[in-house]
Structure 1
Amino acid sequence: MRLLAAIGAALLVSGTAIAQTASPGPTLSAVRSRDALVCGSHPGAPGFSVLDSQGVTRGLDADTCRAVAAAVLGDASKTRWVVLSSQARLPALQSGQVDLLSRTTTWTQTRDTANGLNFTAVNFYDGQGFLVRKSTNVQRARDLEGATICVTSGTTNELNLSDWSRANNVRVQPLVFDQNEETRNAYASGRCDAFTTDASQLAGIRTALRNPDEHIILADIISKEPLAPAVRHGDDQWFDIVRWTIYALIEAEELGITQANVDEMLNSQNPSIRRLLGNAGDHGPLMGLDRRWAYNAIKAVGNYGEIFERNLGRGSPIGLPRGVNDLWTRGGLMYAMPIR
């Protein structure tokens, strides 16, 4: 028993030493060298990534990038944005133009395997819907027989519309545009009978229309759209950093840690809180980061629930319910892997 205890102690010491000296991989090195995180962003998706009146990028995806910047550099403001179209977003990540793609991108098998990408963790569970004018009296998606539907190219929405139309024997005429802004303008000007994209984006787009009350989002959801930040294949350390930063934000909500009380929580004796905030264990050093990596992220942007409510929730102009994006303890799908 003494021998086993001695071996265990030696392994523990060895593991700690390794964690403390974890060397930075290529992406972490590049981010630290330029002292900035470069994020691929959406040209304008209310609630996810959009410029406010002061020229600041706001939204759930934007706050995800800020959280990673805070975890890595200790400063959420050290974030640069590269605005990317639907067609350009994956090549920009593949080529190294951006360090992180956090841009309403659906995690699919083809994108994950054939494009040299790794999706980190889902930060929003969505589904594709339809926006229509109330004056059309369309109540269900099947009522769109013969309709012209605006959709953006290079998206899962374009493919899903084709699949749904074929599977349900509903003939529609897609009107396809290269840019999201073109698609929105075409719908707003009456060039199409409906607009299809992720339901959360439709909610944001609806609020920006001239007379939002004249438009409705149909109840029918025709696809699964798990949205997740993505990184390149080949840098496991960077993959771990982004994934575990997202989990840290979810874990913070589970544990009741907020942007306002995170400093007070540093005094907690709860083992889970101590590990998350860096008072116990080497969870930051295991990824080449400071022990306060999660503390820095939470201090910068708040927990996942705070991010959701600020950008998409009932207190925002979009007003979405948490739904499946609530914590697993309240019937949702948001579930952080254990930090231990």
Structure 2
Amino acid sequence: MHKRFTPIFAILIILATVLSACSGTPSGDAEAAEGILSRVLERGYVVCGGRTDLAGFGMLDEDGRNLGFDIDFCRAVAAAVFGDAEAIEVVPLTAADRGPALQTAEVDILSRNVTWTASRDAQWGNFTNVMFYDGQGFMIRKDSGITSTDDFDGATVCVTSGTTTEQNLSDFFRQHGMDYEAVIFEETPAVYSAYEEGRCNITTSDKSQLASVRSGFADPDAHIILDITISKEPLTPGVPHGDDAWFDIVKLVSFALINAEELGVTMANVEDMKSSENINILRLLGVEGDWGYTDLGLEADALAKAIGAVGNYGEIYDRYMGPEGISFTLPRGPNNLWNEGGLIYAPPVK
């Protein structure tokens, strides 16, 4: 019996091997499996999927330098890995480009005000740690005659395609038994240009994005962001599937920035804090203990370098959206630390 079936089993094994080689894993997973960290180190810089058109989050200064809340996070990772916050390349992505760029490992980090959802976690990549709690809202003109969502029936709404915003919009109108006409654009700037030109009554997105865009309008005061939130939008950096070490590094950097604010470690005092009597500060800054840097192949002071390069979480937020922010002012609200009434929380670094 064994002699009779052995050739058949051999053929089946060969066939299975060939099919496996042909089908393989998705290209992004295969590339990630080779080791994102090793590729980053060999390349000498971090490729960050971001944007250049959203004040406060991803933009260009007058010299063409990338700035923003999301961009500073990429710089923090580069500082932790290379000791150089400028060791980044920002790849501008449209909303539709975000998933494919992460799936194919075109970018090492996706830090582009991206909402973390269950389907994206399964399909796009690994989402790290929520860095900004947001929610979808609506913006209208003051003179529109609209006073609440009860006046939305039959409205035209400008929205970006391929986003949770588009899906939430559909769900909202369906849930409330109202009709609307969607004016859809792939490029986010086109959405707001159309709205400002009067091609739609309403525009919708994350409230932080609406505040950002309104700040750049010719007459910001002519527009109102309604006091209603229709969704949860946890904005979270993502990394490609397949490399746990890289995933851990990016998460740890986010943990460090949040813990630094909680512990009072700033961009200005990080070196002085290395002689602190607080054991949690000493661990965070790599003076005492091992927070995992040995296993991850990083230097003991990697997180200290990240903090020294961009500041703690609160410093990054205030740089762009605080009372003296260079983009606009947006109260922190849920983006306050957990011990100050907000939701921003990170595991201890130790």
What is the TM-score when the length of structure 1 is the normalising length? 0.91
SS of residue in 1 equivalent to 2:54: coil
CA contact (8 A) 2:103 2:123 kept: no
Alignment match, 2:301: 292
Q: CA RMSD in A?
A: 1.2
Give secondary structure in 1 for the equivalent of 2:167. helix
Matched, 1:326 2:336: yes
Q: Tell me the residue number matched to 2:290.
A: 282
Which residue pairs with 2:205 in the alignment? 197
Post-superposition Cα deviations, 1:182-221, rounded to whole Å, max 9, x if no partner, equal: 1111111111111101000000100100000100100011
Structure having the higher Rg: 2
Segments ≥4 residues shifted beyond 3 Å: none
SS in 2 for 1:262: coil
Determine whether 1:122 maps to 2:162. Answer: no
Q: Which runs of 5 or more residues in structure 1 are unaligned?
A: 1-23
Corresponding residue for 1:243?
251
Aligned residue in 2 for 1:338: 348
Query: Once the 2 structures are TM-superposed, how far is the Cα of residue 90 of structure 1 from its aligned partner?
Result: 1.2
SS of the residue aligned with 2:53? coil
Letter in 2 for 1:307: I
Structure 2 spans left out of the alignment, 5+ residues: 1-32
What displacement does 1:89 show?
Answer: 1.1
Deviations 1:19-78 (A, max 9, x none): xxxxx9711111111110000012411111011111111111000000000011110001
CA drift at 1:327: 0.3
**1:96 — aligned with what?**
105
Task: Report if aligned partners of 1:123, 1:229 keep a CA contact under 8 Å in 2.
Answer: yes
Q: Distance in 2 between matches of 1:46 and 1:142?
A: 31
Q: Distance in 2 between matches of 1:162 and 1:73?
A: 44
Residue 87 (structure 1) aligns with: 96
1:181 to 171, 181, 189: 189
Higher mean alpha-carbon deviation, 87-96 vs 268-277, is at 87-96
In the TM superposition, 1:249-288 aligns within 5 A as: 249-283=257-291, 284-288=293-297
Contact kept in structure 2, 1:43 and 1:85, CA below 8 Å? no
How many pairs were matched up? Answer: 316
**Partner in structure 2 of residue 165 of structure 1:** 173
Q: TM-score, normalised by structure 2?
A: 0.88
Distance 2:322 2:156 in 1: 31
Q: Does 1:46 align with 2:55?
A: yes
Give the deviation of 1:139 after TM superposition: 2.2
